[in-house]
Amino acid sequence: MLQINNICTNYGAIEALRGVNLDANDGEITCLLGPNGAGKSTLMMTIMGILSPREGTINFNGTSIVNASSGQIIDKGIALVPENRLVFPEMDVRDNLMAGAYSRLAKEKLECLADIDEMYRRFPKLKEREKQLAGTLSGGEQQMLAVARALMSKPKLLLMDEPSLGLAPLIVEEIFQIIRDLHSDGTSILLVEQNAHMALQVADRFCLLEQGRITFTGEPGQLEENELIKRAYLGSS
């Protein structure tokens, strides 16, 4: 579904990605693990069209998206749940959801409104807080909102950047349950995580990103768990 080939991206003057090769398959949860600074968020931003790679190609369902703008990429069916949630703090829950559907609003306003109701059905807590400003929600609620917001653009592939970051363990359980539910609904997910333990419980495949390159691709269980966690948090030396 998503094929990333030899992507090299600079973040400022730093070579953040140095030839990343990654495949994400339809209907699967592909997990990207790696220590801080490995380039995970840079990769997310490259896929979403915020950053332009120096070299390499990205193909989504057969078409190249490597130089597309973020609007075009969303139209093609990829959406991002950003690291740290990044909800719009002074807009209420409803407006946040509408913002997620921004690219569809011009043509399909009525369907968007219907989709909001669908989100409320799926995430009743958001309905309760409909008119509340997003900045006042708890961490877990904001994460839920960020996911719902991304879903509003009806993506075929959902990118999730560290959804468990900064959340209490109980909430993390909830979030990962949401991820499982999305998976069973047929949404493909590219999951970037530091919490290797939880991530490997849901992943179909995983890759290890270290210092701008993919150093391992495989299925959970292929690499010994201890070794994996060590490398995911600390990197190999």
Element (H, E) at 176: helix 169-184
Element (H, E) at 114: helix 109-122
Number of residues that bind another protein (CB under 8 A): 26
- Residue 16, classed as helix, strand or coil, is strand
Report residue 125 as tokens.
């807590």
Residues 146-165 interacting with another protein (rule: CB under 8 A): 149, 153
Q: Which is nearer to another protein, 12 or 124 (CB)?
A: 12
Q: Does 16 interact with another protein (rule: CB under 8 A)?
A: no
CB of 60 to another protein, least distance (A): 15
Stretch that binds another protein, among 99-107, 189-197, 218-226, 228-236 (CB under 8 A): 99-107
Binding flags for another protein, 100-119, as an x/- string (CB under 8 A): x-xx-xx-------------
- Exposure pattern of 1-31 as b/e (b: 16+ CB <10 Å)? bbbbeebbbeeeeebbbbebebebeeebbbb
Long-range contacts at 133-136 (CB < 8 A, ≥ 24 apart): 133/89, 133/90, 133/91, 133/92, 134/87, 134/88, 134/89, 134/90, 134/91, 134/92, 134/93, 134/96, 135/87, 135/89, 135/90
CB of 177 to another protein, least distance (A): 24
Q: Which is nearer to another protein, 2 or 68 (CB)?
A: 68
Report residue 145 as tokens.
């909102």
CB of 45 to another protein, least distance (A): 9
Helix-then-strand count for the chain, H and E = 10, 10
In the list 27, 36, 55, 90, the residue contacting another protein (rule: CB under 8 A) is 90
Q: Which is nearer to another protein, 73 or 144 (CB)?
A: 73
Binding flags for another protein, 53-82, as an x/- string (CB under 8 A): ----------------xxx-xxx----x-x
Where does this chain bind another protein (CB under 8 A)?
48, 50, 69-71, 73-75, 80, 82, 86-91, 95, 98-100, 102-103, 105-106, 149, 153
